[in-house]
């Protein structure tokens, strides 16, 4: 369960955490990411404004009062973002998240908490993020990867890979599955913003799930989690990531494949096989269609073939 108050955070940030989690229904990851970005902002501003007389950044920022926040202006945000880009080597995607956190926080202080008489972050712009084509396995490598899973915990690992490839689950969604999440030919997952959605299982996913359940239901453990670690506790995202990397290395695929890349594989192969983008959006649990539209990129092999059919290739 999320700890909504952290003693080293300013009081206003802790109140914002509660607002994000209880009122806006944001996921634990979003709450932690946003509040940590704000913690870094205040840590920087305490130094930048000469309040910290120590050689190293202050860790306990609980002393920050309303008057300190009310004095923050747009130029302070620019200074912080320059620091993040120069000293922390943040890329545009990381900077964009920090800007989103700052804008959401000061909008909350202005409109909800009524602590400010204006919003200093209103004109703070989000940097442009270069859209990269999603990395994915082709159909043959995806099938080879699934078929090549062997070794300890084979049934569990096969089931996990099958769910990533055939259902497009997020890593957090898979690790959060419980035994009672399974409903015949579908599973119920909790996605971003704690939103629940039903994910249908195809024959392949059902087959691997049934094989694993024969083993899982025989385990005498109290945990309700579907996937268990070696210690018979809910499998963690990090353990799952390491497992996928090890399996990729073992089967000889020269690819940097993570659980999220397997999700990309699911979506890309659906699109290439004629599934409409709206259906893919629903299957992935995307709130915005624009997020899904990255999968409409044209395959490089198709582009090569198109160039070679030019009548001027002589």
Active site residues: 170, 192, 260, 263, 286, 295
The token pair that represents 210 in the structure block: 């049934």
Helix axes 237-250, 259-272, angle to 10 degrees: 70
Query: What's the Cα-to-Cα distance from 204 to each of 19, 160, 164, 178, 255, rounded to whole Å?
Result: 41, 12, 12, 20, 23
Determine the Cα–Cα distance for residues 44 and 83; give it in Å rounded to an integer. 8
> Which residues, other chains included, contact 313 with Cβ-Cβ below 8 Å and sequence gap of 6+?
307
The token pair that represents 51 in the structure block: 């309040």
For 114-118, the CB contacts below 8 A with 24+ separation are 115/12, 115/66, 115/69, 115/70, 116/69, 116/70
Determine the Cα–Cα distance for residues 186 and 206; give it in Å rounded to an integer. 9
Determine the Cα–Cα distance for residues 279 and 198; give it in Å rounded to an integer. 13
> Which residues, other chains included, contact 184 with Cβ-Cβ below 8 Å and sequence gap of 6+?
none
For 204-207, the CB contacts below 8 A with 24+ separation are 204/162, 204/166, 205/162, 205/163, 205/166, 205/167, 207/162
Determine the Cα–Cα distance for residues 30 and 82; give it in Å rounded to an integer. 23
| Backbone phi and psi for residue 26, each to the nearest 5 degrees, phi listed first | -70, 155
10 Å CB burial of residue 239 (0-12, 13-18, 19+) is middle
Determine the Cα–Cα distance for residues 66 and 113; give it in Å rounded to an integer. 11
């Amino acid at each position: 369960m999320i700890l909504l108050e952290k003693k080293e955070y300013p009081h206003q940030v802790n109140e914002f955490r509660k607002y994000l989690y209880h009122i806006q229904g944001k996921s634990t990851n979003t709450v932690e990411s946003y509040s940590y970005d704000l913690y870094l902002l205040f840590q920087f501003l305490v130094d930048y404004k000469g309040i910290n007389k120590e050689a190293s950044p202050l860790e306990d920022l609980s002393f920050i009062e309303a008057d300190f926040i009310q004095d923050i202006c747009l130029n302070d945000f620019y200074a912080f973002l320059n620091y993040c880009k120069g000293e922390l080597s943040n890329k545009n995607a990381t900077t964009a998240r920090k800007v989103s956190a700052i804008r959401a926080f000061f909008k909350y202080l202005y409109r909800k908490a009524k602590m400010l008489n204006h919003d200093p972050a209103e004109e703070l712009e989000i940097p442009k993020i270069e859209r990269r084509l999603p990395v994915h396995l082709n159909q043959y490598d995806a099938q080879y990867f699934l078929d090549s899973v062997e070794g300890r915990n084979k049934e569990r690992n096969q089931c996990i890979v099958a769910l990533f490839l055939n259902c497009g689950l997020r890593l957090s969604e898979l690790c959060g599955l419980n035994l009672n999440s399974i409903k015949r030919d579908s599973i119920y997952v909790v996605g971003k913003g704690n939103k629940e959605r039903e994910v249908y299982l195809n024959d392949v996913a059902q087959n691997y799930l049934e094989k694993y359940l024969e083993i899982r239901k025989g385990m005498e453990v109290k945990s309700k989690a579907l996937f268990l670690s070696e210690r018979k506790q809910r499998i963690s995202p990090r353990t799952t990531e390491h497992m996928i990397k090890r399996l990729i290395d073992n089967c000889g695929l020269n690819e940097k494949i993570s659980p999220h890349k397997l999700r990309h594989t699911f979506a890309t192969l659906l699109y290439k096989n004629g599934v409409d983008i709206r259906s893919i959006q629903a299957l992935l649990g995307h709130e915005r269609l624009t997020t899904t539209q990255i999968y409409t990129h044209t395959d490089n092999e198709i582009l090569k073939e198109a160039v070679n059919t030019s009548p001027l290739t002589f």
